[in-house]
Amino acid sequence: MRVLSGLILILGYAKSSRSAFITDPASLVNLFIGTTNGGHVFPGATLPHGMVKTGMDTDSPGNQAGYDADPQYNVTGFSQLHDSGTGGGISLSNFKIFPLLTCEQDYFEYCKTSVESRKVLRNLLEDGSPDDFAQPGYFSTNLSTGVRVELTASRRAALHRYTFPSSFPSNVSSNPNTNVNNTYIHPRIVVDVTNDGSQTSTYPSMQINTTTKRVTGGAQFQASFGPGRYSLYVCTDFQVPGQSEPGAGIEEYGAWLADYPVRWTENVDQMYYGFRDELGALLTFPANTSSVLVRVGVSYISADQACANAEEEIPDSTAGWDFDGVKNSAFETWNEACRLLGRIQVDPTGVDNETVSLFYSSVYRTHIVPADYTGENPLWNSTEPYYDSLYCNWDTYRTLYSLYALHAPVDFARIVRGFINIQQHEGWLPECRGATQKQYIQGGSNGDPILGEFFVKYYKQAAALNVSATDLYNALLADAEIQPPNWDLEGRQVNIWKSLGWIPQDGYEPGGTNSKQVSRTLEHAFGDFAISQVAQILGKLEDAAKYAQRSSNFANVWNPNVTVPSGPSSVVGMMQPRFANGTFNYTDPRHCSVHDPTQATCYLNAANHDGFYESSPLVVSPVFRDYVPHDTARLIELQGGVQNFIDRLNFLIDENYFDETDEPSQQIPFMYHYANAPGLSTVRSRQVISEYFNTSVNGLPGNDDSGAMGSYAAFYLAGMYPLPATRQFLLSSPYFPQISFYNPIFNTTTTIKAIGFEGNPANGTEGKIFVQNVTINGQPWHSNCYIDWDAFEQGAVIELQLTDNANVTCGTDSSALPPSLSTGGYGEYNYDLGMGM
Ligand SMILES: *[C@@H]1O[C@H](CO)[C@@H](O)[C@H](O)[C@H]1NC(C)=O
Ligand SMILES: *[C@@H]1O[C@H](CO)[C@@H](O)[C@H](O)[C@H]1NC(C)=O
Ligand SMILES: *[C@@H]1O[C@H](CO)[C@@H](O)[C@H](O)[C@H]1NC(C)=O
Ligand SMILES: *[C@@H]1O[C@H](CO)[C@@H](O)[C@H](O)[C@H]1NC(C)=O
Ligand SMILES: *[C@@H]1O[C@H](CO)[C@@H](O)[C@H](O)[C@H]1NC(C)=O
Ligand SMILES: *[C@@H]1O[C@H](CO)[C@@H](O)[C@H](O)[C@H]1NC(C)=O
Ligand SMILES: *[C@@H]1O[C@H](CO)[C@@H](O)[C@H](O)[C@H]1NC(C)=O
Ligand SMILES: *[C@@H]1O[C@H](CO)[C@@H](O)[C@H](O)[C@H]1NC(C)=O
Ligand SMILES: *[C@@H]1O[C@H](CO)[C@@H](O)[C@H](O)[C@H]1NC(C)=O
Ligand SMILES: *[C@@H]1O[C@H](CO)[C@@H](O)[C@H](O)[C@H]1NC(C)=O
Ligand SMILES: *[C@@H]1O[C@H](CO)[C@@H](O)[C@H](O)[C@H]1NC(C)=O
Ligand SMILES: *[C@@H]1O[C@H](CO)[C@@H](O)[C@H](O)[C@H]1NC(C)=O
C-alpha cells in the first residue's frame, strides 16, 4: 500500500502574519484509511461528488465499496460505480472489467470468464501490504498475473489502463488463464455486464458491435438497502495506444456465459445456454500488446446515453484518449487552492504529519457522496440538479452538511435543490436514496435538519444560489404534516405524531414497520425544531411557535424512574418506549450496548422490539441532544441537575456505553460544554481521536457511512462540533496552531488561532489544550464554549488562549453556555428578512 507523501510548503510571511500554507492538500490524502475490517471506504477514482466511482472489487466479506485492503482476498474485477462507507448489501459494483494474460492453449473458447474462475490475487509489497496506490482521482494496482491496472474518472465515465507484462510471471500457475504452455502473452479483456457484487441482475442485455467492437448493455439490479430495483447501462470502448481508432486491432470477440465464451458471437442470444446469471463480452488483442485503454460510460437512462456520456467527457481524438490528462484533471479538481480541500488550511507547524494527513483525508471522504447524477435521473425530467447516494441522511445530518456549510456552500445548495426537486415529484424529501431508489428510513426524516442547516446559515444567499425559500419550506411542511403510504421509505408516521406527541410502541398502523419508536420520536422532535427555525426566518411566527412546541415532545418519552441495573443511583431517568395510553413499556437501558445481557441488536433487519435504533436507552438519553441538539438544558433538568448530568456522561464513557462506531454517540464527548465543564469535552473528544482514528487501513472505528465519520473526525480535529440547523458551533482547541476556512460565497476567511499551542498530547488527556478565553477580531467574546456563524459569514480572526488547566469554564457572561430552547435560546433571532422573497 503506497500513498503520496505530502508536500507541505512554508510560504513564510503572508499579509504580515506568519502562516504556513499547504499548497497541495490532495497529495496529503490517504485514500486507504478504513478500507478493511468494516470501514467500507471506497479508495478508487472519482471526482468530488462524481457519479462514476471506478475501483477494484475483491471477494472479501466486507466489500460493500468493492475494495478490501486485506491482500488475502482475490480481485474479481474493476467496476464503475460504488458508494463509500455504507452498510447494507454490496452497492453499485456494476460492470466489471477484467484483464487476462491469455487463455489455456491460447484458445478463445477455453478462456475462464466467470468471477469464480478468473479472479486473481494482487502482488504484495515488501511489508506484506498489497501493491495498490491511490491519490484523489486515480487508483492503481499490480496483479499477481503481472498486469498493471490503472483507473481514473470523469463525472459519468471511467478510463482504465491495462498494462501487460512482457513475459509470464512465475508464480500464478494456479490460475487457469495463465497455466498455459504458450510462449507469448495474448491479452484479453473481459467485460462483465451482470456481476454487481451480489448476483442480482435480471433482464440482462449485451451487444458487441462487430465493426467498432463497442460493447453496450445493461440489466436490472437490486438496490442495496431497499426493496427497489434499478436499471443501469454501460458502453465500453477499447483502444490500443498508437491506434486512435477505437477497437482497431482487436483480433477476436465473442459473448460469454459463465465460463463459456463463443467466438464471433455478438450477443448471448446467439448462444444455446439458457441460464443467464453471468454474461458479458470477451475481446482478444494482438499478441504482446503492451497496454490497452478501456473507456467505460455508464447511465441510468440508456446504453445510448452511456455512450454519449463517455464521448462527451473523454472525447475521441487523433492522439487517442488522454489517460494522464483525465488523471491530472481529476487531481486538480480535488486540489485547486480555492476549491474544496484547499479551502480549509491548517498550519502544520508542530503537528505530526499523520495528524495533518488524517485531517485532509477525513475532509476528502466527505466529498465522495452524495453523487451528482444530474441528467441521469430516469424517473422524471427536470433541469434541477439531481443528487443520489444519500446513504443515509440519518448518518450524515449531524456533521456532514455543517462541514459543507463551512467550505462547500455551492455543492450544498445544489444538493438542497436536488432534495427539494425530489419532494416536488415524490411528495416527500429523500432519506436514504441509493441507485435512484428509495431505501429504508432508519429513524426520522433527516432531510428536515439538512434543509434547516442550509437555510439557517444561507437564507440571505438562498435566492442567489437558486434555492427557492418557498419551495424549501413547502418541502419541510410536507414531511411534517402529510403521512406517506410507506413511512419506512419516506416521510414520517406523522398523524400519530401530531395527535399524541410521541410515536407509541403499540400504535399499529399500516404503511411501515412498527419499530424504533423512541428513536423516531426524538428525531421527529429535532426535525420539527429545524422547521421552527426556518419558519422563524420566514417571519411565519405562528408556525415557528407550533414547531418549537412540537420539538419539545422528546420529553414525552422520558421515564424519570428507570435506572441502570446495578448502576449508580445518580443515573436515573431514561428515554423509554411508551404506549398510546400513556403508560411506559420497559427496555433495559443496557440493551444494544456491550453490556447487554441478552446481546440483542437494534438494527433494521433484526427482530427489534425495543423501540431504539442502533443505540441503547442510555446512549439515546444523554445524546438525545444529538438527535435534538436544541435543548440540553431541559435534558440536564430531566436528569436531575448538572452534577447528575456529568456523572452520567462519565459513567457512559468510562463503562463503554459510548459507541464510537455509531452516529448516535457522536456528540457525547462534547456535551460537558452544557455543564460548564468544556475542559472535560476537550479531554474526551481528544481521547476519541487518539483511540479510534488514525491513517492506517484500520483507521476507522466502523463504517465511514458516506462521510459521516470523516466529517466527525474533521470537526474534532478542528476543535469544533456542529449543531445542525442552528448558527452555533461548540468550541474546543484545534489540533493545529491555526486553522482557517475560506467561504467562496461570502468571499471571507475565518481563522481560528490557538495561542500558546504546544502540540497535541498523544493520549489527549494532558497538555496545553484547554480554551481559557476567546477573542474575535481582538474583542473579548462572551463564551469560551461556542462561536456563532456570524464569524464565518463576515470573516474573522478568532483567538483562543490555551492553558494546561482543565478546569476552564464557558465564562461568566449570562450567555456563556451554549443555547438551549427551554432557556430562551433560538427564539429571539433578529433575522434580517430583507431577502427579496
Ligand atoms: C513530514 O513531512 C515532511 C514533508 O514531506 C517531511 O520532510 C518530514 O520528514 C515528515 N516528518 C515525519 C515525522 O514523517
Ligand atoms: C484466491 O483465488 C485462488 C485461485 O482461485 C484460490 O486458490 C484462493 O483460495 C483464493 N483466495 C481466497 C482468500 O479466496
Ligand atoms: C503443457 O505441456 C505439458 C507437456 O507437453 C503437458 O503435459 C501439459 O498438459 C500442458 N498443459 C496445458 C495446460 O496444456
Ligand atoms: C456499429 O458501429 C458502426 C460505427 O459506429 C455503426 O455504423 C453501425 O451501425 C454499428 N452496428 C450496429 C449493428 O449497430
Ligand atoms: C424525458 O424526456 C425525454 C425527451 O423528451 C423523453 O424521451 C423521456 O421519456 C422523458 N423521461 C421521463 C422519465 O419522463
Ligand atoms: C415514577 O415514580 C413516581 C413515584 O413512585 C410515580 O409517582 C410516577 O408515576 C412514576 N412515573 C412513571 C412514568 O412511572
Ligand atoms: C396501556 O396499553 C398497553 C399496551 O397496549 C397495555 O398493556 C396496558 O394494559 C394499558 N394500560 C392501561 C392503564 O390501559
Ligand atoms: C414491550 O417490550 C417488550 C420487550 O422489549 C416487547 O417484547 C413487547 O413487544 C413490548 N410490548 C408492546 C405492546 O409493544
Ligand atoms: C474577495 O476578497 C478579496 C480579499 O478580501 C478581494 O481581493 C477580492 O476582490 C474579493 N473577490 C470578490 C469576487 O469579491
Ligand atoms: C498523556 O500524555 C502526556 C504528554 O503527552 C503525559 O504528560 C501524560 O502523563 C499522559 N497521561 C496519561 C494518563 O498517560
Ligand atoms: C485571556 O487569558 C490571558 C492569559 O491568561 C490573559 O492575558 C488575557 O487577558 C485574557 N483575555 C481576556 C479577554 O480575558
Ligand atoms: C480542578 O478543580 C478540581 C475541583 O475543583 C480541583 O480538585 C483540582 O485541583 C483543579 N485542578 C487544577 C489543575 O486546577
Q: Which residues, judged by CB distance below 6 Å to any ligand atom, belong to the binding site of ligand 5?
A: 379-381
Q: What is the three-class DSSP state of 612?
A: coil
Using one digit for the tens of pLDDT, what is the confidence trace for 111-168?
999 999 999 999 999 999 999 999 999 999 999 999 999 999 999 999 999 999 998 8
Q: Which of 302, 381, 383 to mutate to test the pocket of ligand 5 (most atoms within 8 A of CB)?
A: 381
Closest ligand relative to 71 C-alpha: 2
pTM: 0.95
Identify the residues whose C-beta falls under 6 Å from ligand 11. Answer: 772-773, 775, 780, 801
Q: Which ligand is nearest to the CA of 583?
A: 7
Provide the residue type at 615 as one letter: S
Which atom of ligand 7 is least distant from the CA of 583? 1
Q: Say which residues have a Cβ less than 8 Å from residue 173's Cβ, sequence separation at least 6.
A: 179
- Residue type for 176, please? P
Q: Which atom of ligand 11 is nearest to the CA of 774?
A: 13
* Residue to substitute in 72, 115, 121 for testing ligand 2 pocket (most ligand atoms within 8 angstroms of CB): 121
Among protein residues, the one with the nearest Cα to ligand 8's atom 13 is 506
**What is the Å distance from ligand 12's center to 686 Cα?**
20
**Measured from the CA of 806, which atom of ligand 12 is nearest?**
13
Ligand 4 center to residue 213 CA distance, Å?
A: 9
What's the confidence (pLDDT) of residue 177? 77
Distance CA(73)–CA(35), nearest Å, equals 13
pLDDT digits (tens, 9 = 90+) for 790-835: 999 999 999 999 999 999 999 999 999 999 999 999 975 545 444 4
CA distance 78 to 374: 24
Measured in Å, residue 103 CA sits from the centre of ligand 3 at: 13
**Residue 643 Cα to ligand 12 middle (Å):** 16
Q: How far is the CA of 217 from the centre of ligand 4 (A)?
A: 15
Residues with CB under 6 Å of ligand 6 are: 559-561, 584
The CB density around residue 179, as the number of other CB atoms within 10 Å, is 13
Question: Whose alpha carbon is nearest atom 11 of ligand 4?
Answer: 209
Q: Is 765 in the pocket of ligand 10 (CB under 6 A)?
A: yes
Q: How far is CA 82 from the centre of its chain?
A: 11
Smallest-distance ligand from the CA of 580:
7
Closest residue (by CA) to atom 8 of ligand 10? 766
- The pLDDT score that the predictor gives to residue 615 is 67
User: What cell numbers appear for 508 in the block?
Assistant: 399499529
Cα-trace Rg, the chain: 27
807 lines ligand 12 (CB under 6 A): yes
Please write down the HEC assignment for all residues of 120-147: ECECECCCCCECEEEECCEEEEEECCCC
Our answer on whether the CB atom of 579 is closer than 6 Å to any ligand 7 atom is yes
Q: Please give the pLDDT value at position 11.
A: 33
Helix (H) or strand (E) holding 720: strand 720-722
Q: What is residue 286's DSSP assignment?
A: P
* Phi, then psi, of 410 in degrees rounded to 5: -70, -45
Distance from Cα 301 to the centre of ligand 5, integer Å: 9
- 3-state percent helix, strand, coil for the chain, nearest multiple of 5: 30, 20, 50
Q: Cα(286) to centroid of ligand 4, in Å?
A: 23
Instruction: Report which of 661, 196, 678 is spatially closest to residue 669, judged by C-alpha positions.
Output: 678
Bridge partners (DSSP) of residue 130 are 124
The rounded distance, in Å, linking the Cα atoms of 624 and 552 is 12
**Ligand 2 atom having least distance to the Cα of 73:** 13
**CA 181 to ligand 3 center in whole angstroms:** 6
Under-70 pLDDT residues of the chain? 1-20, 171-174, 179-182, 272-275, 337-339, 605-607, 615-628, 828-837
Q: How far is the CA of 164 from the centre of ligand 3 (A)?
A: 23
Nearest CA to ligand 12 atom 4: 807
The best mutation among 500, 579, 609 to test binding of ligand 7, ranked by most ligand atoms within 8 Å of the C-beta, falls on 579
Q: Would you call 76 helix, strand, or coil by DSSP?
A: strand
**What is the best residue among 177, 181, 182, 183 to mutate for testing ligand 3's pocket, by most ligand atoms within 8 Å of CB?**
181
pLDDT of residue 591: 84
Task: Compute, in angstroms, the gap from residue 463 CA to the centroid of ligand 9.
Answer: 21
Domains identified in the chain and CATH numbers: 1-30+341-368+666-818 (3.30.2080.10), 41-335 (2.70.98.10), 376-492 (1.20.1050.60), 503-509+543-659 (no CATH)
The residue to which cell 445548495 is assigned: 413
Strands 157-163 and 291-299, bridge-based pairing:
antiparallel
Provide the 3-class DSSP secondary structure of residue 750: strand
From CA 625, how far away is CA 633, in angstroms rounded?
10
From the CA of 555, how far away is ligand 6's center (Å)?
15
Q: Does the CB atom of residue 687 touch ligand 10 within 6 A?
A: no
Q: Which atom of ligand 2 is nearest to the CA of 174?
A: 4
